[in-house]
């Protein structure tokens, strides 16, 4: 339903789907495989999985993205998690490599360590729900945007880029090539995300 609504809004504004829905970026923000994202965007059912499989695969995806972004080795990541979350290095490695499913307490700690949105549901939600979580801010932005004003790279994007140095930052740097009307949509999305993030920090 979210994807259908988004398609309708993009159609009303003359936005090509490929301009906002990049499978690689969506995979990075959801920790889902690109093949699963592509299947969902086609309207196909994602591969069957269990909750434990989802958790293991998404943690491993986040771990891989972290190492690629920072240039750290698995041993560096494991040491950081072990130190910050108070678990053994052996157990941290087993979890980060996708071999073991973490306990609820460990999973809660990983939410903070990787700074993911949505809490534990980020790891446990079915693929369709994980994608919807990322698409909803786009729906909100398109619903509130006329798509006609000239907007440059301004404070919302800069604030999010300074706050997050991971794959979201990479996506923002790529997005600087968007035409002005697309920036209006993107900036509205970023403002909504920043407000949500700030409200959660104040709790």
Q: What is the pLDDT of residues 121-132, one digit of tens each?
A: 999 999 999 999
Q: Residue 72: what pLDDT?
A: 94
Q: Residue 53: what pLDDT?
A: 96
Q: Residue 195: what pLDDT?
A: 61
Helix (H, G, I), strand (E, B) or coil at 93: helix
119: which DSSP letter? T
Integer CA distances (angstroms), 98 to 42, 49, 59, 89, in order: 28, 14, 7, 14
Measured CA to CA, the distance from residue 174 to residue 168 in angstroms comes to: 10
Task: Give the burial class of 98: count Cβ atoms within 10 A of its Cβ; 0-12 exposed, 13-18 middle, 19 or more buried.
Answer: middle
Residue spans per domain, the chain: 2-46+126-202, 51-124
Q: Residue 185: what pLDDT?
A: 65
Task: Give the burial class of 203: count Cβ atoms within 10 A of its Cβ; 0-12 exposed, 13-18 middle, 19 or more buried.
Answer: exposed
Q: Residue 127: what pLDDT?
A: 95
pTM over the 0.85 mark: no
Q: Residue 202: what pLDDT?
A: 52
Q: Residue 10: what pLDDT?
A: 87
Question: What is the distance in angstroms between the CA of the first residue and the CA of the last residue of the chain?
Answer: 31
Phi-psi region of 31 (alpha: psi -120 to 50; beta: other; left: phi over 0): left
Q: Are 93 and 29 in contact (CB under 8 A)?
A: no
pLDDT in tens, the chain (203 residues): 788 888 888 888 888 888 888 999 999 999 999 999 999 999 999 889 999 999 999 999 999 999 999 999 999 999 999 999 999 999 999 999 999 999 999 999 999 999 998 899 999 999 999 999 999 888 888 887 654 333 333 434 444 444 443 444 445 545 555 555 566 666 666 666 666 555 555 54
Q: Residue 196: what pLDDT?
A: 58
Q: Are 140 and 192 in contact (CB under 8 A)?
A: yes
* Domain at 51-124: CATH code: 1.10.260
Tokens encoding 12: 């009303």
């Amino acid at each position: 339903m979210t994807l259908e609504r988004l398609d309708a809004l993009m159609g009303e504004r003359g936005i090509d789907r490929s301009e906002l829905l990049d499978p690689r970026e969506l995979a990075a923000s959801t920790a889902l495989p690109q093949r699963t994202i592509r299947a969902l965007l086609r309207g196909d059912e994602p591969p069957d999985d269990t909750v434990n499989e989802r958790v293991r695969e998404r943690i491993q995806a986040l771990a891989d993205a972290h190492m690629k972004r920072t240039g750290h080795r698995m041993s560096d990541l494991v040491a950081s998690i072990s130190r910050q979350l108070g678990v053994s290095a052996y157990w941290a490695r087993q979890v980060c490599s996708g071999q073991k499913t973490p306990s609820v307490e460990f999973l809660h700690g990983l939410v903070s360590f990787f700074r993911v949105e949505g809490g534990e549901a980020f790891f446990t939600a079915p693929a369709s729900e994980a994608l919807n979580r990322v698409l909803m801010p786009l729906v909100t932005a398109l619903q509130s945007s006329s798509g006609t004003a000239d907007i440059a790279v301004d404070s919302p994007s800069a604030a999010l880029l300074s706050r997050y140095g991971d794959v979201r930052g990479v996506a923002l740097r790529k997005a600087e090539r968007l035409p002005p009307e697309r920036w209006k949509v993107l900036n509205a999305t970023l403002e909504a995300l920043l407000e949500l993030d700030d409200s959660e920090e104040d709790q």
